[in-house]
Chains A and B, each alone.
Chain A
């Protein structure tokens, strides 16, 4: 455990994030169009339909993964491809470029194998949108584990999402702000690892937060 003095040098500052949705000028009516869209859309569009959508639909824990998979399932009616797209776990990606490549590879492979389906018109078009991110400090600081736990309990969904999910892209590491701080400032490597293992796909943000608080309480009891 790191000393209090060390922890005080690097307090955890809680932020929140909010997204403005910008309507892009691309729209896909077929899987072929969709593939073109994936190639040409901005990074913030890929982010919007994958990372950001996980935040705005966090209460769904079964089968909903990203907007792309959902459109392929519900509008293009291609279950197999939808499953492949839904299986892409955003925690595996440290950059949007890598995620885009995998999305393109899945769709392109399917279109090559099924050219008839690739040209078929979907029930509803897919509109590529983008996220504009605005962050703001909450004015909430944690200097030790207790303050950290209390702060976590007071976070909005967006704030929790910002530190726990979208932080990967910011950090370019397979971790999150919480685990980073627990490890680097408090020296709690094991707790940091356990926190990082919380599954964001099978948990809602509320239940992920509850798991995190439970892990911290266990750690506090050990101390």
Chain B
């Protein structure tokens, strides 16, 4: 097996202007006792998806800190990925109908990948359910094995979780993105918040000229307030509710609304929701409904940066990293108090929370009326993300986890 190679490497030093030199020095100090330690990360894809995106950044940073880290990808056929896609949806709470072979296919592919396991690794981190069965390749309880769950397990389908739980119980610990996602397990459970990369195309600084060109491309007026929600066209993101809140705000402020997201072209339900959104908008020229391709990170970045207020009016949410993206850009955010959002939006400190269409509209009006408060919330939101939700913090969490495991804390 060949470890996954990473081409696009960002050195730790490039984060120093954003974090400060002392924070980078601290990272080096924490990594010092881990120099030369063998670490293996395993997931199920090397491109596409949030996990691969995170590993593409984390692995080079860990290597730079002289950790002997290797990233491997579980090999599976279409039948395996069909099964794991069904598992993924079921673990998120969707209905699940087994075809009777699913569990066998899962076990068989995991078994076929046993050679992937680096038996000399001191730390093995298995990401998500797909490679969870590799735990059975562990010999003599060697090393420390941790399961990193990136998905929302708050309402899992009992059949699928019942199948996976015995695998997870064999690990030495599990990491979840929110306390709400954790399960009753006989092993310690750790909290790693999801993170954003401040140097990625979606989050890096942009020049004003580019931002203006994006506004021009989508016929958005830069002179009037811009309210924006970035999310796929999904009922749980309540885009129709956002339009209703905008209409209330519009009575007081001559503003525009941008609803930008993907997911409509390859998702039948997304197309239906997009249709509902267009109907609700009723041809209002100040409502810009933008169906962006799956990867339009620079456009999303520009739209967020051009916004006066960023909205995330979800009815249900996992963690909602679009909120962290907006806060990183120092934007005042009005968001629903659901899922991981209150962790990011500390009400009246790093943004404003709302519980209804009317509440959302009121908070937006408040921010438009008090730009100095909006500015303060945006600044504090930026600091909150800097301290808690950046990829460098994620790396630090792994360092601390490895240090605590190796010291038996």
B25 touches which of A20, A124, A156 (Cβ 8 Å): A156
Q: B342 contacts which chain A residues (CB < 8 A)? A: 74-75, 124
Answer yes or no: B41 CB below 8 A from chain A CBs: no
A50-67 interface mask toward B, CB cutoff 8 Å, 1 = contact, 0 = none? 000000111110111000
Q: Which of A16, A22, A73 lies in contact with B29, CB distance below 8 A? A: A16
Bound form: Cα–Cα A25–B189 in Å: 9
Decide if A157 is an interface residue (CB 8 Å cutoff).
yes
Q: In the assembly, what is the distance between CA of A156 and CA of B28, in Å?
A: 12
B188 at the binding interface (Cβ < 8 Å): yes
A95 to chain B, nearest CB (A): 21
Task: Determine whether the beta carbon of A159 is less than 8 Å from that of B400.
Answer: no
Are B190 and A20 closer than 8 Å at their CB atoms? yes
With contacts A23-B176, A56-B387, A129-B191 taken as known, whether A159 is within 8 angstroms of B355 at the C-beta atoms is no
A133 to B401 alpha-carbon distance, docked (Å):
10
Q: A153 to nearest B CB, angstroms?
A: 9
Is there an interface contact between A159 and B190, defined as CB atoms closer than 8 Å? no
The stretch of B219-227, B273-281, B343-351 that contacts the partner chain:
B343-351
* Pairwise interchain contact A137-B346, C-beta atoms closer than 8 A: no
Is B189 within 8 A of A22, CB to CB? yes
Indicate with 1 or 0, residue by residue over A142-163, a CB within 8 angstroms of chain B CB atoms: 0000000000001111110000
Q: Are B387 and A18 in contact (CB under 8 A)?
A: no
A21 interface hit (Cβ, 8 Å) = yes
A13 at the interface (CB under 8 A from B): no
Q: Which residue of chain A is the closest to B180 with respect to CB atoms?
A: A127
Are B409 and A134 neighbours in the complex by a CB distance under 8 Å?
yes
* Given A134-B403, A157-B23, A74-B347 contact (CB < 8 Å): yes
Residue from A57, A123, A139 with most neighbouring chain B CB atoms (10 Å): A57
The answer to whether B399 and A129 touch across the interface, beta carbons within 8 angstroms, is no
Interchain CB contact under 8 A, A18 and B179: no
How many contacting A-B pairs (Cβ < 8 A)?
104
Closest Cβ–Cβ distance, residue A207 to chain B (whole Å): 12
Q: Does B182 belong to the interface (CB within 8 Å)?
A: yes
- Interface flags for B384-409 (1: CB within 8 Å of A; 0: not) read 10011000000011011101100101
**Alpha-carbon gap, A123 to B336, bound state (A):** 11
- A residues near B399, Cβ cutoff 8 Å: 18
- Once A22-B188, A22-B190, A157-B387 are accepted as A-B contacts, the answer to whether A16 and B30 lie under 8 Å apart by CB is yes
Contact B400–A18 (Cβ < 8 Å): yes
CB-CB nearest in chain B for A127: B179
The smallest C-beta distance from B381 to any residue of chain A, in angstroms, reads 10
Measured CA separation A19–B396 after assembly (Å): 9
Contact A57 B346 (CB under 8 A): yes
Tell me the complex Cα distance, A154–B28, Å.
14
| A56-B400 in contact (CB<8A) | no
0 or 1 for each of B157-183: is its CB under 8 Å from A? (1 = yes): 000000000000000000010011010
Set of chain A residues within 8 Å of B347, measured between Cβ atoms: 73-74
Q: How far is the CA of A25 from the CA of B32 in the complex (A)?
A: 33
Collect the chain B residues with CB atoms within 8 Å of residue A75's CB: 337, 342
Q: Which residue of A lies closest to B188 (CB)?
A: A22
Q: Which residues of A contact B338 (CB under 8 A)?
A: 124
Shortest CB distance A72–B (Å):
12
A184 part of interface (Cβ distance < 8 Å): no
Q: How far is A123 from B356 in the complex, measured between Cα atoms in Å?
A: 13
B29 touches A139 (CB 8 A): yes
Q: How far is the CA of A46 from the CA of B91 in the complex (A)?
A: 32
B349: chain A residues within 8 A (beta carbon):
57, 60, 62-64
Q: Which residues from A are CB-within-8-Å of B409?
A: 132-134
A128 → chain B, closest Cβ, in Å?
8
When the two chains form the complex, which single residue of B23, B190, B403 contacts A156, counting CB atoms closer than 8 Å? B23
**Smallest Cβ-Cβ distance to B341: which chain A residue:** A124
In the complex, A97 has a CB within 8 A of chain B: no
Q: A21-B190, A22-B188, A56-B388 in contact; A70/B346 too (CB < 8 A)?
A: yes
Q: Is B99 an interface residue (CB 8 A)?
A: no
Task: Check A156/B404 contact, CB under 8 A, given A23-B190, A74-B337.
Answer: no
- Which chain A positions have C-beta within 8 A of B403? 18, 134, 136
Evaluate contact between B182 and A23: CB separation under 8 angstroms: yes
List the B residue with the shortest CB-CB distance to A73: B347
**In the complex, which residues of chain B have a beta carbon less than 8 angstroms from the beta carbon of A59?**
380, 383-384, 387
Q: Which residues of B contact A136 (CB under 8 A)?
A: 29-30, 32-33, 403
Give the docked Cα–Cα distance between A21 and B32 (Å): 21
| Chain A positions 72-93 with a Cβ under 8 Å from a chain B Cβ | 73-75
A25, B396: Cβ atoms closer than 8 Å: no
B387 touches A155 (CB 8 A): no
Q: Which residues does A use to contact B, with CB under 8 Å? A: 16, 18-23, 25, 27, 56-60, 62-64, 70, 73-75, 123-125, 127, 129, 132-134, 136-139, 154-159
Contact residues of B with A, CB < 8 Å? 20-23, 25-26, 29-30, 32-33, 176, 179-180, 182, 184, 188-192, 337-338, 342, 346-350, 353, 355, 380, 383-384, 387-388, 396-397, 399-401, 403-404, 407, 409
- Given A23-B182, A59-B380, output 13 extra A-B contacts at Cβ < 8 Å: A18-B396, A20-B400, A21-B191, A25-B184, A57-B349, A62-B349, A74-B347, A134-B409, A138-B26, A154-B25, A156-B20, A157-B387, A158-B26
Report 11 cross-chain contacts, Cβ distance below 8 Å, ordered by A residue.
Answer: A18-B400, A21-B191, A57-B384, A63-B349, A70-B346, A123-B355, A124-B337, A127-B179, A133-B409, A136-B29, A156-B23
Complex A-B, nearest 6 residue pairs according to Cβ-Cβ distance, in ascending order: A127-B179, A59-B383, A156-B26, A21-B191, A156-B22, A23-B189
